[in-house]
Structure 1
Amino acid sequence: MELFNSKLDEARDKPIITCLEYIREYLTKRIVNVHKVLDKCKGSLSTTATTILENNKTEASKMRVLFNGADKYQVTGLWMEQYVVNLKERSCTCRKWDITGIPCQHAIAAMYDKMQNGSECGDPEAWVSKCYWLSTWNAMYQHTIDPINGRSMWPRSDCPTTLLPPKHHKQVGRPQKKRKRAVDEPTQSLLSVIRQVMGNGDVKEVTNFKPKKFTFSSVLIYDKLVNLLVLFVMVAMSSINHTLAKACSKGCY
């Protein structure tokens, strides 16, 4: 929903018919773009989910697994990091599987250990959340939006009352186009990270969040401020030492 709202910045301040036409054209283009991406995908998962899962498989082969006899596994990595995997609840204490819906390297290592001991586990792809399956994407975007004729060919309404637009009152100051966020609503940077992790990058709709970078001039200013602070501390310490020396010479210290 947040992604859809961010795409309406250009049409949010337009009249209602123009705004609705913008939404219709945007949805038409989005459905076509998703169909193009689905045609290029190979396998049962989306491109992002497949890449993440393959990387997790590579890391899982380097881990050591200890089975407790029930549904829990203790997985230890190369750097002695240790996590607990519960295949029955589809969870891992690293929280990656719980958040993204894609089995982490610890969960895949536990699956490999279970299959080596003769138990049926299935491929790691079967444990991925259904939102990453191409069948789910095809079901979501199977419908298309039909094009319509221009406004000159629209049928006229039979309503006897003529609806006039409300009187326009220009507010003071520059009009705002950004939507006001709620108090508990996540920030733009957090939304960007979540969308990249959840795999929305397949349709190139990820919000481009670019943090501010330190320029060469800002580094020089920062360096000068640090030097001034050090100089101030040295002068203050020298003044304190001078005062203490005078007090000692007079026998008051």
Structure 2
Amino acid sequence: MPILMLIEYFRATMQQWSFQKRNVAAEAKRTLTPWAETIIQANKNACNNWMVYPISNSRFVVKSFTHKSVVVDFQQRTCTCSRWQIDGLPCGHVIKVLTMSRYKDCSEFDFKAYFIETLRKNYEESVNPLPSPLESKIPGDLMIVKPPMMEMRQPGRPRNIDRILSQGERPIWQECSTCGKFRQTRSDCTSRGSRSGISQATVHIQR
């Protein structure tokens, strides 16, 4: 039941989120999404004092007072600052060239993912509620998955007998209280016949 409650919580969140995004896309009057408009406006404000030097009809050099010069290539749709290629939105260098060329709308240089029409298509489907678990039809041939078998962990911190000895340390072999032999304990003593084969020694480290 807790898993079903978690799934229902995620579904309800997606339903509310989809409804809100659908309303935003339906009420939008611009070409780009509000988030893209905010980024482009910030890039416009940052490029007011930059200088543009044409190389050709499609390539331009943009110089700023705090950054190095970059080259904008409209034919390849690239800028050497790489922001245009990474974000998919015109960087300040591209916007400065477009402003100098008297472009009023730079939306044609944006990725299609930032168009409001793309946003409408993404959220045109509704998220519907799930039926009640009592109404669900459970197949009779389902395999019952049981939890894995786990050994009960002993209290306290487990001993580390496999670590490398520090300089000056030496191992002390425990003496068996049954037969008096070293490198074995009473639980794995061969004299008691409780185990067959070679017994294993328990080593305690003395600091």
Give the TM-score, by structure 1 length: 0.51
Instruction: Letter of the 1:164 partner, please give it.
Output: I
Q: Is 2:29 the partner of 1:49?
A: no
Match of 2:123 among 141, 166, 174: 141
More strand by share: 2
The aligned residue for residue 63 of structure 1 is: 50
* Alpha-carbon distance between aligned partners in 2 of 1:171 and 1:122, rounded to the nearest angstrom: 71
1:248 maps to which residue? Answer: none
| Map of 2:98 onto structure 1 | 111
Instruction: Show CA shifts across 1:98-127 (max 9, x none).
Output: 111110111111123334xxxxx6721221
Largest Rg, 1 or 2: 2
Q: Distance in 2 between matches of 1:147 and 1:80?
A: 53
Correspondence list, 1:1-253, <5 A = 15=3, 20-39=7-26, 41-79=28-66, 81-115=68-102, 123-157=105-139, 159=140, 161=141, 163-169=143-149
Report how far residue 56 of structure 1 moved: 1.8
Matched residues in 1 for 2:19 and 2:149: separation? 40
Cα distance in 2 for partners of 1:45, 1:83 equals 26
Query: How far has the Cα of 1:143 moved from its partner?
Result: 0.6
- Note the residue ranges of structure 2 that are not aligned, 5 or more in a row: 154-207
**What fraction of aligned residue pairs are identical, expressed as a percent?**
21
CA distance in 1, matches of 2:40, 2:151: 53
Query: Following TM superposition, by how much is the alpha carbon of 1:93 offset from its aligned partner in structure 2, in angstroms?
Result: 1.2
- Name the Cα RMSD after superposition: 2.9
Unmatched 5+ stretches in structure 1: 1-13, 116-120, 174-253
Q: In the alignment, residue 55 of structure 1 is paired with which amino acid? A: A
Q: Which structure is higher in helix share? A: 1
Q: Is the 8 Å Cα contact of residues 50 and 65 (structure 2) preserved in structure 1?
A: yes
1:158-181, Cα deviation, whole Å (9 max, x unpaired): x3x3642323445889xxxxxxxx
> Relative to structure 1, is the Cα distance of residues 32 and 170 closer, same or farther in structure 2, using a 3 angstrom cutoff?
farther
